[in-house]
Amino acid sequence: MLNGIKVLEFSEGVAGPTTGLHLRELGADIIKLEPVDGDWLRSAAPVQQGDSVSAAFFALNRGKRSVALGVKPQAAKPLVQALLKRADILITDRPVEELNALGIAADSDLPVPSNPRLITASITPWGRRGPFAHKKGSELSAQAMAGYTRYLGYHGEPPRRLGADVASVGTGMFALQAVLAALYARNRTNRGQRVDLSLLNSLLSMKSIHMAAQSDPDAYEGPRVGGANHTPERGWKTADRPIYFGFGGSVGAEGRQGWVDFVKEVGLEKLLDDPRCDKAGRKTTGHGLYTHDFREIYEEAFKRYGAEELCAIIKKHRGNAATYIRADETLAHPQSVALDIVRTVTDRNGNAAKVRAYPAHFSSLKPKVEGVVPRLGEHTRAVASEAGITGAELDAMIKGDGISLEVGAK
C-alpha cells in the first residue's frame, strides 16, 4: 500500500511510534532514529515473554529499523540530513533545540529546505502556540487538563487517570490520518507540508460529543454529562459479574416495548406503577435520567441471575446487554476470533508472540504483521550506506560521538 514511502521516526514513547507502526503495517519503510540510550519505552515494564525487550516497545516498534545517535548528536547532522533528503515523512516529538542542532528548522513550515516534498508530523504536549507552547507535558497532565479524570473515581475521592494512554494513542491515530492526507495532497501539488498535533488537542477532539453535551445544553441529563459514578460505567451487579444493560431506543413513538416484559420476568412488576418509569425503559436503564435511583432496585432482582443468563433474558426482550469481561477474555472471544484481531508472530529468538493486527480489513490489500523489533542501533551502518554516507564519513561521525552502532557491531 505504502511501498516505497520512506519515514524517519524521530520520536519516543507512544504517540509518534504508534503512527510509525501503522505506516509500517501499511507498507512504509520506517527508520527509527533513537537517542544514545534508546527510546525510553525500551526499558518500560513488563518485559516481553521469551525476549529481553519491553512488551510495550515490542508492540509499537515491530518491523522498524533502528539508527542510534551518540552522546553528541549534532555530530550526526550529515547522516540525519541525508536521511531527510530521501524521506517522505518525518515524525518527531523532539525539543526545538535538539532538532535545530541536527539542521531541522523546528519552527519553520519547511523544516528541511533541501526536501520541499517532506511531510513533517510534529507532536507536542500542548501545541506550537500559546502560553504552554514550550512547557513540558505528559499523558497524565494532558488527561487532567482535558478533563478526562472526571470520568473515573467517586465523589469526594481524588481524581483518577484513565488506565489507557488515550492521549498518546489518539494523537498517534490523528497523526496517521494527517500524514496520509498530506501524502494525497502532495500527489496533486508536489509539495510537502508541516502538520502540528498535540496531546491536548487530540483529547479535546475525541471529547467532542461530551463537550457538546456539557456546553449550555437545554437540560443537564443523559450519558454525556455524567461521570464515573454513573451506573453504566460501574455496571449492574449480578450473582457473579457486572453487566451493562439498556432498553428504549427510537423505534416508534414510545420506543421498544421489551422492558415491560423484561421486568415482569425478573420479578420487578412494581416498576410498572412507578411514575418515574416509562414503558420503553429509557429513563431507568442504560444512560437514563433515573438510573442512579433505580440501581439498588434492579440489583436486588439481578442477584438471582448469573451475568450470562441475565444478558440472554434482556436480549430476548430486545434490550441491549453485555457482560464485563477481562482483557484476555476479550482477545479470546469468538467475536474477536471471527475478526482475526489477534495474530501470532515469531520474534527474533523464534518465540511465538501474540500481536493485534491493523484494525482495518481491506478487500484486496494485506497489512503487514511482523514480530521482530530492532536492537538499538542495529541498522545504523546499513541505513547510512543507503543514504549515500561513505564508510569514512560514518566512521568520522562515530569517532565524533554523533552516531552509535549496535553493541558488539563493527
Average pLDDT in the 348-371 region?
Answer: 93
pLDDT at 230: 54
**Domain check: are 189 and 291 in the same one?**
no
* Residue 66 and residue 32 in contact, taking contact as beta carbons nearer than 8 Å: yes
Q: Enter the DSSP assignment of 192.
A: -
CA distance 286 to 257: 15
**Per-residue model confidence as pLDDT tens digits over 88-101:** 999 999 999 999 99
**Domain check: are 199 and 60 in the same one?**
yes
Final residue in a domain of this structure, among 302, 323, 344: 323
**Domain check: are 87 and 126 in the same one?**
yes
Rounded to 5°, the CA angle 50-55-60 comes to 130
Q: Number of folded domains in the chain?
A: 2
Encoded amino acid at 375, one letter: R
**Domain check: are 109 and 62 in the same one?**
yes
277-304 b/e with 16+ CB inside 10 Å = b? bbebbbbbbbbbebbeebeeebeebbee
Average pLDDT in the 177-184 region?
Answer: 98
**Per-residue model confidence as pLDDT tens digits over 75-91:** 999 999 999 999 999 99
| Within a domain: 59 | yes
Residue 90's CATH number: 3.40.50.10540
What is the H or E stretch that residue 122 is in? Answer: strand 119-124
* Residue 149 and residue 160 in contact, taking contact as beta carbons nearer than 8 Å: yes
Residue 300's CATH number: 3.30.1540
Grid-cell match 421489551, residue found: 258
**Domain check: are 24 and 83 in the same one?**
yes
Q: Which domain holds residue 275?
A: 236-323
- Which range in 36-50, 240-254, 366-380 is most confidently predicted, on average pLDDT? 366-380
Q: Over the chain, what is the mean pLDDT? A: 90
**Domain check: are 254 and 391 in the same one?**
no
**Domain check: are 89 and 195 in the same one?**
yes
Grid-cell match 500527489, residue found: 187
Where residue 35 falls (left for φ over 0; alpha for ψ -120 to 50; beta otherwise) is: beta
| Within a domain: 165 | yes
**Per-residue model confidence as pLDDT tens digits over 307-355:** 999 999 999 999 999 999 988 999 999 999 999 999 999 999 899 999 9
- Residue 172 pLDDT exceeds 90: yes
**367, three cell numbers:** 497489512
**Per-residue model confidence as pLDDT tens digits over 249-291:** 655 555 567 999 999 999 999 999 999 998 889 889 987 878 8
Grid-cell match 501470532, residue found: 344
Q: How far, in Å, are 117, 151, 237, 403 from residue 74 at the CA level?
A: 24, 44, 59, 9
Final residue in a domain of this structure, among 279, 297, 323: 323
**φ, ψ at 145 (rounded to 5°):** -70, -35
**Domain check: are 366 and 280 in the same one?**
no
